[in-house]
Amino acid sequence: MEIIGIVTRLTPFKEKDAMVNIITEEKNLSFLARGVLGIASKNMASVQPYTKSRFLLTRGKEGLSLRTGTVLETFQGAKEKLASLSTLSFIGELTNKVISSEEARKIYPYLDKVLFLLDEGFDALTLALLYTGEILRAAGLGLEVTKCVISGQRSDITAISYLDGGFVATPCFDALRHQKCSKRKLEIIRQIFLAKPEDLNRVVFEKWECLEIIKELLIYLLDASGTRIKSVVLLEKGTQ
């Protein structure tokens, strides 16, 4: 079987072997890569995290294993700066913990574009925020950002409710359940849940805006699914 995928995790297994996790246009896959941790391995480069490669896989009694791997994109520029490295760790953890095989086709074009833009030097925190929104949307946790989640009203939106799952209009506001937001913050949240892959480099948000909203979205993710993303601390350190 030949397949193109992006490596999201490389886990040492035995002495020189490793388990490789990739995401493709259709699904998530994991396979055994024998000998890739050896210095002389010809396949080592193809299984490095956040590398896009073409893999030739064979299926045996123990599952899929790597026969050959060919690097298509290294995204090396994304791996040379602390800010983008921190974002790589963050989006990798998000992808591995949240995205199921059935959801891979939704997130793959976003992951591919984020890696390309990080490689080009685009703002890493903005990409981390936009990708977080898309991860939630792909996992069925997207927020309603086109109208009031309670009444359906499209005007006079002044708050957000993570409990109710979206924007809230003034007549429906409940101080115990809802969070008042500035127009700027509401517009950012709207953009991150409506963005398409081609939109990811059209705007840059302030560092503090990105971190504030990312943290809120991760609390929402934790409350909704029990999934905790630990690498968010790297985003803060990577941009200091």
Name which of 207, 203, 162 is nearest 181 in CA terms. Answer: 162
Answer yes or no: are the C-beta atoms of 117 and 200 closer than 8 Å. yes
pLDDT at 40 over 90: no
Q: Report how far apart, in Å, the C-alpha atoms of 22 and of each of 10, 11, 95, 105, 159 are.
A: 9, 12, 10, 12, 38
- Across the chain, the runs of DSSP E, i.e. the strands, are 2-13, 17-23, 28-33, 52-60, 63-73, 157-161, 166-169, 179-180
Q: Look at residue 71 in the predicted model and tell me its pLDDT.
A: 97
pLDDT at 239 over 80: no
Distance, CA of 36 to CA of 66 (rounded, Å): 9
Mean residue pLDDT of the chain comes to 94
Phi/psi at 76 (5° precision): -60, -35
Count the residues in the chain.
Answer: 240
Q: What is the mean pLDDT of residues 108-135?
A: 96
Q: What tens digit of pLDDT does each residue of 63-120 get? A: 899 999 999 999 999 999 899 999 999 999 999 999 887 888 899 999 999 999 999 9
Answer yes or no: are the C-beta atoms of 192 and 133 closer than 8 Å. yes
Structure tokens at 215: 């943290």
Determine the straight-line distance between the first and last CA of the chain, rounded to whole angstroms: 44
Q: What is the mean pLDDT of residues 144-157?
A: 96
Name which of 39, 30, 40, 33 is nearest 18 in CA terms. Answer: 33
Strands 17-23 and 2-13: antiparallel
Structure tokens at 16: 């020189």
Where are the domains positioned within the chain?
2-73, 76-143+181-238
pLDDT at 60 over 90: no
Q: What is the mean pLDDT of residues 156-177?
A: 95
Q: What percent of the chain has pLDDT over 70?
A: 99
* β-sheet bridge partners, residue 31: 20
In terms of C-beta density within 10 A (0-12 exposed, 13-18 middle, 19 or more buried), how is residue 55 classed? buried
pLDDT at 238 over 80: no
How many whole angstroms from its chain centre is CA 162? 20
Q: Look at residue 169 in the predicted model and tell me its pLDDT.
A: 97
Q: What tens digit of pLDDT does each residue of 169-211 get? A: 999 999 999 999 999 999 999 999 999 999 999 999 999 999 9
Q: What tens digit of pLDDT does each residue of 2-20 get? A: 999 999 999 998 889 999 9
Amino acid of residue 159: A
Select the CATH number that applies to the domain covering 2-73 from these four: 3.40.50.970, 2.60.40.1890, 1.10.1530.10, 2.40.50.140: 2.40.50.140
Q: Look at residue 240 in the predicted model and tell me its pLDDT.
A: 64
